[in-house]
């Protein structure tokens, strides 16, 4: 006896036809756009490979910078000034954009200041301030700039920079010390009224600081 054919419902037929149609469209798209899809795929692979390569190179570069920076710190702590200047200079020249390269500028600034190279010291401190994001060392760099001006007897600019330390970093431990130096600069310049105002500011703002007592002593030595 002949087998009876199963009836295909309209709903199933439509579903199958849509599936076939979608598959045909997909195949047709890939056939006509095969070159474009290939280029896109290659592009994605190249970008991914480039990113991995860049990450690897960056990691390797920062590792080298970190080792060299640590060597500079060790020499710095031993007061080996010339050798530490040489190492930190190498970090700056070879890895200037890394965190270690930026921080090396701060130490170079201090070392140049210690050796009396005030222009070079100021240059390194200014570059550190421009690129660094480390709030711990930023007040010290600004203080260093002020100190270089004071050493060169440019007390007007020195006072401005000392006062800037307090203005930008009021909570820093260096803030009251910077104000003391600013008052000293004002006194040297003959601005005694201004010096008194700064000493009073120290007493009022930093009561628990050792500089508060020093400010009181200095106030008594300033004649009306």
Query: pLDDT tens, 39-72?
Result: 444 554 445 444 433 444 455 778 898 999 999 9
For the segment(s) 135-224, the CATH number from 3.40.50.300, 1.20.58.390, 1.10.3720.10, 1.25.40.10 is: 1.25.40.10
Q: Could you tell me if residue 118 is left (phi over 0), alpha (psi between -120 and 50 degrees) or otherwise beta?
A: alpha
Residue 37, pLDDT score: 45
Mean pLDDT to the nearest integer, 171-177: 95
- Mean per-residue pLDDT of the chain: 82
Residue 53, pLDDT score: 36
Query: pLDDT tens, 195-209?
Result: 999 999 999 999 999
Query: pLDDT tens, 9-34?
Result: 544 444 455 554 554 555 455 455 45
No. of H helices and E strands in the chain?
10, 0
Is residue 4 over pLDDT 90? no
Residue 128, pLDDT score: 96
Is residue 223 over pLDDT 50? yes
| Predicted structure pTM score | 0.72
CATH fold of the domain at 54-131: 1.25.40
CB–CB of 183/162 below 8 Å?
no
Mean pLDDT to the nearest integer, 213-218: 94
**Domain boundaries defined on the chain:** 54-131, 135-224
Which residues does 132 contact at the CB level (< 8 Å), separation at least 6? 102, 103, 105, 106, 138, 141
Rounded Cα distance, 128 and 149, in Å: 17
Residue 17, pLDDT score: 53
Residue 49, pLDDT score: 46
Query: pLDDT tens, 138-171?
Result: 999 999 999 999 999 999 999 999 999 999 999 9
Which residues does 206 contact at the CB level (< 8 Å), separation at least 6? 175, 176, 179, 212
């Amino acid at each position: 006896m002949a087998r009876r054919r199963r009836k295909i419902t309209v709903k199933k037929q439509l579903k199958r036809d849509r599936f076939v149609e979608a598959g045909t469209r997909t195949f047709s798209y890939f056939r006509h756009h095969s070159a474009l899809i290939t280029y896109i795929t290659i592009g994605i692979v190249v970008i991914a490979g480039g990113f991995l390569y860049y990450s690897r190179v960056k990691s390797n570069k920062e590792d080298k910078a970190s080792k060299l920076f640590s060597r500079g710190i060790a020499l710095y702590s031993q007061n080996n000034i010339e050798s530490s200047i040489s190492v930190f200079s190498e970090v700056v020249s070879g890895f200037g954009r890394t965190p270690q390269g930026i921080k090396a500028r701060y130490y170079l600034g201090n070392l140049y200041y210690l050796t009396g190279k005030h222009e070079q010291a100021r240059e390194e401190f200014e570059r550190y301030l421009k690129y660094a994001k480390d709030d711990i060392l930023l007040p010290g760099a600004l203080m260093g700039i002020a100190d270089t001006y004071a050493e060169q007897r440019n007390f007007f600019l020195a006072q401005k920079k000392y006062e800037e330390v307090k203005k930008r970093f009021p909570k820093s431990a260096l803030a009251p010390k910077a104000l003391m130096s600013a008052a000293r600069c004002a006194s040297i310049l003959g601005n005694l009224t201004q010096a008194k105002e700064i000493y009073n500011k120290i007493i009022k703002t930093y009561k628990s600081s050792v500089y508060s007592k020093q400010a009181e002593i200095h106030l008594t030595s300033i004649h009306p």
